[in-house]
Amino acid sequence: MSDKNRVLIDGDMLVYRIASALEEPIHWGDDWWSLYADARQGVALIDEELKKFEDIAKSYDPLATDIKVALTCPVFNWRNNVLPSYKANRKNVRRPVIWNPLRQHLCENHKAVTYRNLEADDIIGILCQKTSIIISDDKDFKSVPCKFLHRPSTGAGSRVTEKRAKRWHFLQTLTGDSADGYKGCPGIGEVRAEKLLKDGTWEEVVGAYSKAGLDEEDALRQAQVAHILQSPSEYNKKTGEVALWKPE
C-alpha cells in the first residue's frame, strides 16, 4: 500500500490564470499594437504556484505528496458528441499568447496528465480517491467526493461528501452553466433549484423538466455533460470513448 495521498491540481486553471496575467500590450507606433508575455516569467510562476499548492496540501495531510497536474485534451471534448453547444461559445475566444509554452512546461517538467477527449476535470475525477485533495477554483468539483480546496490562493476548502456531490450534480443539471454552454432547465436558477431538490433525487430533476415541457432525455443530456467522470470504468484509454452517465 502506498504511503502517499494524491494532490490533484487543475492545470487549466493555473495556465490560463498566469498566462493571462502576464500579457502586456505594446504600441509599435502608427497604430500598430501587439501583446507580449514573458514565458520564462510564466514558467517561474507556475513552479512557484505548484510548490505553494504542495505546501498547502501537506498542511491538511502530511501524506499528500503524490502531486498530479491535469490538462484538458486540446483536440476534442467528448461532451460535444452529447451536446454540440457545449463550450461552443469559446471557439472564437483567443488563448493567451504563452498558453502553449506553459502547457508544454507542465508536461515536460511536471509530468502533467492529458487523456484523449477528456477535460482536466474528468482526469482529476478519474484519478481522485477518498484520500485525495483537489486544488482548483472551478466550482464543478463540488460534484466529486473529496477534499476540495476551492480557493487555491488561500487554501480554503471543504470536504465534499458523496451525498453533497450527487446533489450538486443535480443542481447543475437544473441550472445549467452558461459559461460552459449548457442551459439546464428553462426558467430555473440556483434558488429555485435548491427548493425543487427536496430529497435530491433524479425524479425531482425529471419532474422539473416535465413542467417546463421537456422530457427525461432532455434532462439526461444536461446531466451527462454536467457530470465529471469519477471512475476508470467510465473511460476507455485505448479508444478515448466515454461511458455516459445514467441515473441509478
Contact of 44 with 50, CB cutoff 8 Å: no
Classify residue 3 by burial, with Cβ atoms within 10 Å: 0-12, 13-18, 19+. Answer: exposed
- Full domain range(s) for residue 157: 5-23+37-161+228-242
16 conformational bin, left if phi > 0, alpha if psi -120 to 50, beta if neither:
alpha
**Residue 174 belongs to a domain:** no
What's the pLDDT score for residue 44? 98
State the pairing for strand pair 5-10/32-36.
unpaired
Q: What is the pLDDT of residues 25-69, one digit of tens each?
A: 999 999 999 999 999 999 999 999 999 999 999 998 999 999 999
By percentage, how much of the chain surpasses pLDDT 70? Answer: 99
**Cα–chain-centroid distance for residue 244?**
17
Beta bridge partners of 6: 66
Beta bridge partners of 66: 6
155 pLDDT more than 80:
no
Average pLDDT over residues 157-182: 95
Q: What is the pLDDT of residues 95-142, one digit of tens each?
A: 999 999 999 999 999 999 999 999 999 999 999 998 999 999 999 999
Average pLDDT over residues 9-26: 97
**Residue 186 belongs to a domain:** no
Average pLDDT over residues 71-99: 93
**Residue 204 belongs to a domain:** no
**Residue 93 belongs to a domain:** yes
Confidence of residue 18 (pLDDT cuts 50, 70, 90): very high
What's the pLDDT score for residue 1? 40
CA-angle at 136, arms to 133 and 137, nearest 5°: 140
Q: In the numeric block, which cell numbers belong to residue 95?
A: 488563448
**Residue 212 belongs to a domain:** no
**Residue 216 belongs to a domain:** no
**Residue 29 belongs to a domain:** no
Alpha helices in the chain (DSSP H): 11-21, 39-60, 79-82, 99-110, 120-127, 162-175, 190-196, 202-211, 216-226
Q: What is the pLDDT of residues 196-223, one digit of tens each?
A: 999 999 999 999 999 999 999 999 999 9
What's the pLDDT score for residue 218? 98
**How many Cα atoms sit within 13 Å of 248 on the Cβ side?**
4
Cβ contacts of residue 87 below 8 Å, gap of 6+? 77, 79, 80, 180, 181
**Residue 86 belongs to a domain:** yes
Contact of 226 with 173, CB cutoff 8 Å: yes
State the pairing for strand pair 5-10/64-70.
parallel
Contact of 238 with 218, CB cutoff 8 Å: no
Give the total number of structural domains in the chain. 1
3 pLDDT more than 80:
no
The CATH number of whichever domain residue 147 belongs to comes to 3.40.50.1010
